[in-house]
Amino acid sequence: WHYPLINLPTAWDLEEGSPDVIVAVVDSGVLLDHPDLQGQFVDGYDFISDPSSANDGDGIDDDPSDPGNGGLFAPSDFHGTHVSGTVAARTNNNFGVAGVAPGVRIMPLRAIGSSGTIYDVLQAVRFAAGLPNDSNTVPPQRADVINLSLGCEPSPCPCISQEQAVYDQVRDAGVMVVAAAGNESSPLPTSPAWCDGVISVSAVDLERKLTRYSNTGPTIDIAAPGGDIGADLDGVNGVDGVWSTLGSDVSGQLAFVYSAYNGTSMAAPHVAGVLALMKSANPDLTPAVIDQQLAAGSLTDDLGPPGRDDDYGHGLVNARKAVTTALN
């Protein structure tokens, strides 16, 4: 339901994504062996500095695998794997799900374990943009888009100066940053969606209405499908969540599965994927050009009051419209 809602299947007639375009997913890491994500990754990194939070026995290292945060009878959420599947799960392989931009590549960056810090997230963001960071290395090719399906606590929380300085540098490097607005039903988004230069994403349901949980506010730029696992308005699959790649470890053995989540965390990668399609169609696009086209209504369908508003920003992302804009 969420792909037709944003006119994505018709966008694929124009662009499915280039392997030269990279989306960095800063999250809990990924299940690198998930069959629907095979061939979709470039090398990533683990920036969790506290071994007690990392759950993998050490601090920062070059392995972005998600070891899970649950265990027997307490399932891990494998959040980063779900987000990555929405961005770029393999398509036309006769099983699983489809990613928004199946032709692009994902840079998995681990910054959230059993807990997380703004510092670790910013180190991952700096790495993605090819800026100096605690790993003392940079990727062979920087990311074009960074997805941040995360936020600080307690919520809402503003963008602190250290964050803003990093996002300013990332933008100057030509990298687009997308962040989830948060799920507290707050009239203000949580950071990093609060920060200037970050594309802040609120969530809509199957009926293109603001979800019950989505944060709103003056920094909201755009809306995308976040879903509602408490509803089944179309009578399909039991819930109106966003289905994507996942793992299950409740039995003590890891299984690769698919499941539905809801949240602004699910909305953000829809936007990151559409931006990756745009970048594939037109490699010359910059964050400033994206901002101009977003403000002009060239990437969205207006929802709510005419023009920009605090619930939907400039409207619901329209993939076909956005890719056509990039091509033009």
For residue 42, the model assigns a pLDDT of 98
Asked if 102 contacts 68 with a C-beta cutoff of 8 angstroms, the reply is: no
List the catalytic residue out of 18, 56, 76, 79.
79
Per-residue CA distances from 152 to 76, 94, 160, 297 (Å): 20, 38, 11, 30
Question: Does pTM surpass 0.95?
Answer: yes
Which one from 18, 214, 265, 280 is the annotated catalytic residue?
265
Q: What is the pLDDT of residue 73?
A: 57
Q: pLDDT value at position 253?
A: 86
- Amino acid identity of 94? N
Q: What is the pLDDT of residue 154?
A: 86
Residue 237: pLDDT band with limits 50, 70, 90: confident
Residue-level pLDDT at 252: 80
Mean pLDDT score, 231-240: 89
**2 carries an active-site annotation:** no
User: Would you say residue 291 has pLDDT above 80?
Assistant: yes
Q: What is the pLDDT of residues 124-167, one digit of tens each?
A: 999 999 999 999 999 999 999 999 999 998 888 999 999 999 99
Count the neighbouring beta carbons within 10 Å of the beta carbon of residue 74.
Answer: 10
Which residues are 278's β-sheet partners?
none
Longest dimension (CA), the chain: 52
Q: Is 27 a catalytic residue?
A: yes
Span 11-26, average pLDDT: 98
pLDDT digits (tens, 9 = 90+) for 37-83: 999 999 999 999 999 989 888 999 999 999 998 655 568 899 999 99
Q: To which residue do tokens 């681990």 refer?
A: 110
Higher pLDDT, 19 or 114: 19
Among the listed residues 166, 175, 268, 259, the one whose alpha carbon sits nearest the alpha carbon of residue 215: 268
265 is catalytic: yes
Q: Does the pLDDT at position 240 exceed 70?
A: yes
Active-site position among 2, 27, 28, 314: 27
The DSSP letter of residue 47 is: -
The stretch 184-208 carries a mean pLDDT of 97
pLDDT (tens digit per residue) in 79-102: 999 999 999 999 999 989 999 999
Amino acid at 188: L
* Of 263, 99, 88, the residue nearest 183 (C-alpha): 263
Poorest-confidence range of 6-20, 175-189, 228-242?
Answer: 228-242
